[in-house]
Amino acid sequence: MAKHIVTVNKGSLQKTVKTGGCGECQASCQSACKTSCTVGNQVCQKQ
Amino acid sequence: MDIHRFEQNGMHIVLDVNSGAVHVVDKPAYEALAVWDGQNDAAVLAALGGAYGEAAAAEVLAELRALMDQGLLFSPPPAVPAALGDAPLVKSLCLHVAHDCNLRCGYCFAGTGDFGHDRGLMPPEVAERAVDFIIAGSGRRKHCELDFFGGEPLLNMETVRRAVAHVRRREAETGKVFKLTLTTNAVLLDEATLAYLNAENISLVLSLDGRREVHDNMRPYADGSGSWQDALAGIRRAVASRGGQNYYLRGTYTAHNLDFAADVLAMADLGFAALSVEPVIAKDGGYALRPEHLPALAAGYDALAAEYLARRRAGRPFEFFHFNLNLDNGPCVAKRLAGCGAGHEYFAVTPAGDLYPCHQFVGRDEYLVGNIFDGINKPAMVQRFRRAHALAKPACRGCWARFYCSGGCHANAQLFGGDLAVPYELGCELQKKRLECALMIQASLALEKGGC
């Protein structure tokens, strides 16, 4: 048990290089000026 | 920059940029990561030994090393996914069904609705053709998206209804599934319109800027009178009529309300739970945001994040869009790099059927890329947008937020820097602040659930 560090999320970005890219996710507005769908705030539609 | 370490709401947080892993660390580990680069153990022992003792410093190093071995710290950059090189599919269209508006909002990028050109309504035939355009361009993709936008789209409900009817016919023919959204100032949302929008499962983005005086100052009618009361009445009708689901209240803050957190909370206090408030985009004018506003705005996000957690813990939660970060099931790398898809996956359609890279480019004539009847006539421009992803922008390659913002908004980059490859710096700073708040919130909630 780590004493100094708690990992709250084990990232998986690398894995998605192979598994992702299906393109089914919602469009996202990076200025969030319209439908408020900045990419970091999205969920993957595949899972 | 492979990690980002920051303090937020009394927590020490470390993001491993390339994997997306998030760690909450104590002070010795936080200080160690100011020095450690994955190899220089002796420097960490020297830096921490005096304050915490050599044994504690060695303990910290052992934990950091274990994370690195698991690929959760200083992880290598992911390869650029092959999907980014594929030919683009059209995923989403923004239909400007009305280049006209019943309000005269001071900050409107649409130039109070006309986008710098003549006022006008989109004929139903143009909207129907746009539906066919997206179906033809969407290839194997099952999901298509249409946003009814303006100006004010409720000024042209005939075209909205005809477009939706055409969508339903084409869905049945093709097996496509459309997600429909309508962005409105809400003052014309009567019972009959709402019954129709609800029956068709059309998501609503409802514009409200928070406190009455803030809203009325920037969102008046043409005669100068405030629209807050009518907008709020329409929004209340809308939200109640759909059981509090399938909507977002969306506001804009300006230099006139740097204390925008009070506006977010005012909307929560009115009983609305799905909230999003965004910084105004403007180069000039007294309401434009400037770099000297950043400390006040950062303090606003700090306060809002703390209150978000406090209300959640007290059983009075609200959602603030930018804090809804999904750490476990976020988008893939391809999506994170490609971002909004403006100009290749996403287009705006004017009342005449002209195509622009997005709604904010409408009226910038050099960015007219084609029309829905003849298709794209500037393929080089489309490729330019497709290639303008986060890793293609020098300022983004070394930024810790590159997998969350996708390189920022193209329209803002072009407006402020004259170059798609140069992100709008003030927007970047606000984005990073929101991300730190979001990461803190998600880390806090994960710890309350028991960690990883």
Residues of B in contact with A5 (CB under 8 A): 23-26, 29, 63-64, 67
CB atoms within 10 A of CB B257: 24
pLDDT value for A36: 44
Inter-chain residue contact A27 with B405, CB threshold 8 Å:
no
Looking at the complex, does the CB of residue B381 fall below 8 Å from at least one CB of chain A?
no
Looking at the complex, does the CB of residue B202 fall below 8 Å from at least one CB of chain A?
no
Looking at the complex, does the CB of residue B209 fall below 8 Å from at least one CB of chain A?
no
Inter-chain residue contact B91 with A41, CB threshold 8 Å:
no
Each of the 452 residues of chain B gets a pLDDT tens digit; together they read: 599 999 999 999 999 999 999 999 999 999 999 999 999 999 999 999 999 999 999 999 999 999 999 999 999 998 877 656 667 789 899 999 999 999 999 998 777 667 777 779 999 999 999 999 999 999 988 999 999 998 999 999 999 999 999 999 999 999 999 999 999 999 999 999 999 999 999 999 999 999 999 999 999 999 999 999 999 999 999 999 999 999 999 999 999 999 999 999 999 999 999 999 999 999 999 999 999 999 999 999 999 999 999 999 999 999 999 998 888 778 888 888 878 889 999 999 999 999 999 999 998 999 999 999 999 999 999 999 988 888 889 999 999 999 988 888 999 999 999 999 999 999 999 999 999 999 999 999 999 987 55
In chain A, the residue whose alpha carbon lies closest to the alpha carbon of B412 is A31
Helix or strand run (H / E) with residue B234: helix B228-241
Pairing mode of beta strands B274-279, B22-25? unpaired
Model confidence at A14: pLDDT above 70: yes
**The amino acid at B134:** I
CB under 8 Å to A9, separation ≥6 — which residues?
B20, B21, B22, B327, B328, B442, B443, B446, B452
CB atoms within 10 A of CB B266: 18
Residues of B in contact with A13 (CB under 8 A): 18-20, 78, 333, 336, 403
Contact A4, B25 (CB under 8 A): yes
Q: Report the alpha-carbon distance of residue B144 to residue B440 in Å, rounded.
A: 33
Looking at the complex, does the CB of residue B147 fall below 8 Å from at least one CB of chain A?
yes
**The amino acid at B96:** H
Inter-chain residue contact B333 with A36, CB threshold 8 Å:
no
Inter-chain residue contact B19 with A11, CB threshold 8 Å:
yes
pLDDT value for A44: 65
Inter-chain residue contact A24 with B143, CB threshold 8 Å:
yes
Q: At what angle do helices B425-449 and B410-417 cross, to 10 degrees?
A: 150
Inter-chain residue contact A5 with B409, CB threshold 8 Å:
no
pLDDT value for B325: 87
DSSP string, chain A: --SSEEEEE---HHHHHHH-----SPP--TT-SSS---GGG---S--
Inter-chain residue contact B340 with A39, CB threshold 8 Å:
yes
Looking at the complex, does the CB of residue B250 fall below 8 Å from at least one CB of chain A?
yes
pLDDT value for B297: 98
Contact B400, B17 (CB under 8 A): yes
Whether omega for the bond prior to residue B151 falls within 30 degrees of 0, making it cis, is: yes
| Local structure of residue B325 (DSSP, 8 states) | -
| Partner residue facing A36 (CB), from B248, B404, B443 | B248
Model confidence at A46: pLDDT above 90: no
Compute the half-sphere exposure of residue B340: CA atoms within 13 Å on the CB side of its CA: 30
Inter-chain residue contact B446 with A19, CB threshold 8 Å:
no
From B62, B61, B64, select the one nearest B47 (Cα to Cα).
Answer: B61
Which range has the worst mean pLDDT, A11-25, A32-46, B143-157, B268-282? A32-46
Residue from A24, A36, A47 to probe the interface with B (highest B Cβ count within 10 Å)? A36
| Partner residue facing A31 (CB), from B75, B281, B321 | B281
Inter-chain residue contact B81 with A27, CB threshold 8 Å:
no
